[in-house]
């Protein structure tokens, strides 16, 4: 799934007046890990393929992985911290300001902003699979018509922003103290980091709840309760979606068999993987490898 580069690269693979689509790669040996980075002159929606920690102006530190989406303002400063032996890989979408304003308005947000008011949001599974499929077809010189590409990219931007806006309105738990609130947020963050490290580009380690609790230094009961309160999903749900969304990249970018991919990401067999995949994505994993452009319509249903 790597882009076969030995240094950081940003590559635009589709561009129209309303939206751009590109691929980003920053290998572990790049100097960009040790310096401050700057987003370009347009807003960016980043769809991570690997785990990476993003620190924005030393104010907020967020783990980005295939279960999340990152939102950047034009010219925003940030630093990255290595969390995967594959470095920082992602697809990214840059909507025009008029398109962004339209989507923000639909989400009930301030349309005068040049970026959404949130920095991180949850991934949308069909968008994860669709952008991998789209990127692979474009880089293989077998793209769908421009009309299809542009409409799919707009729908990805729309659905990820709407999902993040909905999540940001989720009523947070009321804590008796700021210290407790921060401690619980830290537990959820560290738990996500442990799970992200267990799911790499080549393999998904078998990990138990006890293993996570030991690394986070809390009891298994407290871990499960706090994680659900902080994220709205169980640890098992988060880990399953992380494995499936990471597997989507392998399905799109490699010729490995589905059975092999199932085993790599911790599923007992082809049938177990297919059942879990269909439950999350709504279609069998083999559909991701079909050449039909109708895939994108099926993905949205």
C-alpha to C-alpha distance for 66 and 274, rounded to whole angstroms: 19
Q: What domains, with CATH codes, occur in the chain?
A: 9-168 (2.60.120.10), 178-300 (1.10.10.60)
C-alpha to C-alpha distance for 118 and 95, rounded to whole angstroms: 16
pTM over 0.85: yes
C-alpha to C-alpha distance for 5 and 183, rounded to whole angstroms: 39
Average pLDDT over residues 67-95: 93
State the pLDDT at residue 221: 93
Q: What percent of the chain has pLDDT over 70?
A: 90
Length of the chain: 301
C-alpha to C-alpha distance for 114 and 294, rounded to whole angstroms: 33
pLDDT tens for 121-175 read 999 999 999 999 999 999 999 899 999 999 999 999 999 999 999 988 876 666 6
Are the beta carbons of 90 and 47 closer than 8 angstroms?
A: yes
* 29 vs 179 pLDDT, higher one: 29
CA–CA distances in Å: residue 152 to residues 193, 208, 261, 278:
30, 37, 26, 20
pLDDT tens for 259-294 read 999 999 989 899 999 999 999 998 899 988 876 655
Average pLDDT over residues 228-236: 91
Q: Alpha helices, DSSP H only, in 42-124?
A: 97-106
pLDDT band at 214 (very low <50, low <70, confident <90, very high): very high
pLDDT band at 1 (very low <50, low <70, confident <90, very high): very low
Q: Which of 2-6, 33-37, 204-208 has the highest mean pLDDT?
A: 33-37
């Amino acid at each position: 799934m790597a882009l076969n580069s030995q240094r950081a690269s940003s590559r635009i693979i589709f561009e129209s007046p309303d939206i751009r689509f590109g691929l980003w790669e920053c290998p572990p040996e790049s100097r960009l890990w040790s310096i401050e980075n700057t987003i370009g002159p347009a807003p960016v929606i980043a769809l991570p393929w690997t785990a990476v920690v993003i620190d924005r102006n030393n104010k907020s530190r967020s783990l980005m992985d295939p279960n999340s989406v990152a939102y950047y303002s034009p010219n925003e400063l940030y630093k990255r911290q290595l969390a995967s032996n594959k470095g920082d890989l992602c697809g990214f979408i840059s909507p025009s300001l008029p398109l962004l304003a339209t989507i923000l308005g639909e989400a009930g947000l301030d349309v005068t902003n040049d970026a959404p008011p949130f920095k991180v949001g949850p991934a949308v599974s069909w968008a994860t699979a669709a952008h991998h499929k789209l990127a692979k077809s474009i880089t293989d010189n077998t793209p769908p018509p421009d009309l299809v590409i542009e409409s799919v990219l707009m729908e990805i931007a729309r659905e990820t922003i709407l999902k993040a806006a909905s999540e940001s309105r989720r009523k947070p738990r009321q804590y008796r103290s700021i210290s407790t609130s921060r401690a619980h947020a830290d537990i959820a963050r560290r738990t996500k980091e442990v799970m992200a490290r267990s799911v790499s580009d080549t393999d998904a380690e078998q990990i138990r709840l006890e293993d996570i609790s030991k690394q986070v230094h809390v009891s298994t009961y407290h871990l499960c309760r706090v994680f659900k309160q902080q994220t709205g999903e169980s640890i098992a749900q988060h880990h399953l979606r992380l494995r499936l969304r990471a597997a989507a990249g392998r399905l799109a970018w490699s010729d490995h068999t589905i059975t092999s991919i199932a085993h790599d990401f911790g599923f007992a067999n082809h049938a177990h993987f297919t059942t879990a995949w269909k439950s999350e994505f709504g279609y069998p994993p083999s559909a991701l490898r079909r050449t039909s452009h109708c895939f994108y319509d099926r993905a949205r249903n």
